[in-house]
A and B are shown apart, each in its own frame.
Chain A
Amino acid sequence: MAETTRSAGTAAPARTSRTRGAKASGRETGRAATPAPGADVPAGSASGSGADAETLIGYYRQMLLIRRFEERAARAYTEAKIGGYCHLNLGEEATVVGLMAALRPTDYLFTNYREHGYAIAKGITPDRVMAELYGRSTGVSKGWGGSMHMFDKEARLLGGYGIVGGQVPLATGAALAVGYKGGDDVVMCQMGDGTAAIGAFHESLNIAGLWDLPAVFVVINNGLGMGTTVENSSAEPELYKRGAAYRMESARVDGTDVVAVRDAAVLAVEKARADSRPYLLETISPRLKGHSVVDPARYRSKEERDALKAADPLARIALDLAERGILSHDARDALDAEVTAEVDAAAAFADGSPAPDVSTLFDYTYATPVPGELRRLPADPVFSS
């Protein structure tokens, strides 16, 4: 359920003013300048046409878990349990879950700074993700990374990165390494729409196209780079079309439809794996809230805010599952209670976990320690004895 462009010179479907799919999804952002979910994306499946009931309930549960986790994170932030920046996946749950469903456990993932949901969907327990947000030693990065820098070798989450576009060259190199070693894993690289304007994005896609690397670049287009619209930051706002410049197949998909996202991602991942060719996938995935917890999103009009409520992917799948008799109201409530309890437990785990010991401050500067390395606290002399 996606538009695709297959190679340089192949005309991609023209952008139309008609908001296709709007009737099916009942969503419009109200601002023409911002891609609406469903706009330019073929009217998709109602969620679930291509998945069995059990799979769909599994997706719903994961989406709900991420939703409740993020709501809890927002609360913990206002309670000053979480510091620094905190970028939430609220509204992007269908994208997160759909993308991760397309990966094998051995496939690698690089993300940007909006990665809590990805960490959970890639198989890291909410306990360890929440503990990282709390800056505890039990966190996924032992408290060194925080919200933006989660990493787990076993889950093959190779990091959340805070510099826009910084992860794209790294993912390209990881894809090179996979091929160098003769494996057939795929490297997925998640990024936001703002990244498509960055030099590292272009350099990396060029290298991946040139060297036939098994990388799937996924642009999560939520319509805004912080508060700047795609139209105000990109000469070509239909970002998936950039793939053509690098002889890379590309597609755009409705990011509020978990099955559509999964199907598009499966296609991308399969091509990367089978042909060792990179792929560019764009998802239209509005975020429901601001750029980060502290952003009240005043740049949005009332109409846009109202439209966003209708764009909620969690409500969409819940309604769909109810209408098709897959998940009753009671079963949904029970699932919610179960997931909420899991998130409560994660928060309790984080709260009860120890802060990293100050004696470990110098443990992670160098993997191969050397004489002469300063292990000096601010008041210590530089040279003693």
Chain B
Amino acid sequence: MATVTYRQALRDTLRAEMIRDENVFLMGEEIGLFEGSYKITEGLLKEFGPRRVRDTPIAEEGFVGAAIGAAMLGLRPVVELMTINFSLLALDQIVNHAAKIYGMFGGQTSVPVVIRTPGGGGQQLGATHSQNVELFYSFIPGLKVVAPSTPAEASAMLKAAIRDDDPVLFLENLALYNTKGELPAGVEDLEPAQIGRAAVTRPGTDITLIGYSRMARVAAEVAETLAAEGVSAEVVDLRSLRPLDRATIVESVRGTGCAVVAEDDWLTYGIGAEIAATIQEGAFDWLDAPVRRVAMAEVPLPYAKSLESAALPSAESLLTAARDTLRATGRLALETAS
């Protein structure tokens, strides 16, 4: 077992996949000479050269579209978009083209492209650089959207994404890059993950906490706090936003009877809304309390630290929602719910 950062897991996996398959190549802004804005691609230009580690102009629609076109001819491009905010400039290519090409041509050509991109607030980057717009992509049939929360998952999921024949949006979070975790094996030996499967990362009986990416880690932290208070919380890490593993969600909630969904995006029409609706349809008779959602405040994220911190979902906000829910079910006595 090796302990690595999320960043290192991504880098080692990219490297391993490039060695394994000549058709895998990287493109994106500042990934070569600059070695990546977040240093995910550090050392890769030196090792693989400019044919396989390609710096692009700042022209997201053009180079994301070019990656999609290259994928149509059998290459396996892994694109880095500096932040998910910039993916909006490539929205036409991702939504109108990458997602549709397999379907609208009757399955004659697939688009095995991976688009890696970090999102997330908390860095005081202001309104246009702090969004989590994964919902836009999770809404679209034809795309796959994954958001792993740990280094091991990031590695296994990236392998799966690169080997998958469909376009995959691979969502990272700035807050995760320096987090550490154990890899059960060397990165070359890790089995690719199954895209479309959620994971029950902590079993429990009293309440289900559902999250993805950063919020899956926050949920694990909150479950730990609750355990110290005698509450058994089950944590579901969605990992894949499309396809969505409804069966695992519903099964968990049928076991616990209540749930809180934690998401790093806005509430209205957000990922949590879809999870709540799924629970309503699949576990209504098992519910002892309404499903709660913890999400970002519905504002363009402000720059000032005090405002930004208040707007973002946190362990405290999830803990509060979990306690409210537990109180409503009678699993937490009123007096212990501070």
> Which residues of chain A have a CB within 8 Å of any CB of chain B?
108, 110, 139, 141-145, 149, 151-153, 158-159, 161, 163, 166, 168-178, 180-181, 199-200, 203-204, 206-207, 210, 363-368, 370-374, 381-383
Contacts and interface: CB of A to CB of B under 8 A. Distances in A.
Contacts, number: 179
B250 A383 contact: yes
Report which residue of B73, B101, B194, B247 has the largest number of chain A beta carbons within 10 angstroms of its beta carbon: B73
16 contacts: A141-B106, A149-B105, A158-B72, A159-B101, A163-B97, A166-B96, A170-B97, A173-B69, A174-B73, A177-B73, A177-B74, A180-B75, A200-B65, A207-B63, A365-B102, A370-B144
Given A177-B74, A370-B196, 19 more contacts: A141-B104, A141-B108, A142-B107, A152-B108, A159-B105, A163-B92, A163-B96, A170-B93, A172-B62, A173-B72, A173-B73, A181-B75, A200-B61, A203-B57, A203-B59, A204-B62, A367-B110, A382-B278, A383-B246
Contacts of B245: 371-372
Nearest to A162: B96
Contacts of B92: 163, 166, 200
Contact of B62 (A142, A151, A169, A374): A169
B328 interface: no
A144 B196 contact: no
A362 B112 CA distance: 19
A367 B69 contact: no
B74, B103, B142, B195 pick with most chain A CB within 10 angstroms: B103
A383 B281 contact: yes
Looking at A152, A158, A172, A176, the one whose CB has the most chain B CB atoms below 10 A away is A176
B246 A207 contact: no
A373 B102 CA distance: 15
Contacts of B75: 177, 180-181
B282 interface: yes
Interface in B106-145: 106-110, 112, 141-142, 144
Nearest to B280: A383
B240 interface: yes
A163 B92 CA distance: 8
B213 to A, nearest CB: 18
B309 interface: no
A372 B105 contact: no
A378 to B, nearest CB: 14
Contact of B71 (A139, A161, A173): A173
A276 B233 CA distance: 61
Nearest to A170: B69
B57 A206 contact: yes
A367 B166 contact: yes
A171 B62 CA distance: 10
A376 B245 CA distance: 15
Contact of A371 (B72, B197, B278): B197
B68 A372 contact: no
Contacts of B247: 371-372
Greatest chain B CB density within 10 A among A199, A374, A382 is at A382
Given A172-B69, A381-B281, A372 B97 contact: no
B51 interface: yes
B266 interface: no
B211 interface: no
B65 A363 contact: no
A176 B66 contact: yes
A204 B66 contact: yes
Contact of B109 (A153, A371, A381): A153
A383 B97 CA distance: 29
A152 B66 CA distance: 20
B69 A176 contact: yes
Given A199-B61, A371-B243, A374-B243, A366 B66 contact: no
A166 B240 contact: no
A142 B141 contact: no
A16 B106 CA distance: 48
Contacts of A364: 102-103, 106-107
B147 interface: no
Q: Which of B61, B165, B244 has the most CB of A within 10 A?
A: B61
A316 to B, nearest CB: 35
Nearest to A179: B51
B243 A166 contact: no
B67 interface: yes
A310 B284 CA distance: 71
B106 A166 contact: no
Contacts of A108: 73
Contacts of A174: 69-70, 72-73
B317 interface: no
Contacts of B25: 180
Nearest to B164: A368
A368 B106 contact: no
Interface in B203-228: none
Contacts of A139: 106
Contacts of A175: 69
Interface string B90-101: 001100110001
A373 B194 CA distance: 13
B179 interface: no
Given A200-B92, A372-B244, A365 B103 contact: yes
Contacts of B271: none
B104 to A, nearest CB: 5
A168 B246 contact: no
A172 B56 CA distance: 13
Nearest to A213: B66
B69 A366 contact: no
A207 B57 contact: yes
A114 B56 CA distance: 31
B70 A145 contact: no
Nearest to B283: A383
Contact of A169 (B61, B74, B196): B61
Given A177-B69, A203-B62, A373 B243 contact: yes
A183 to B, nearest CB: 9
B66 A207 contact: yes
A204 B65 CA distance: 9
Contacts of B144: 366, 370
A205 to B, nearest CB: 9
B178 to A, nearest CB: 30
Contacts of A145: 104-106
A174 B68 CA distance: 8
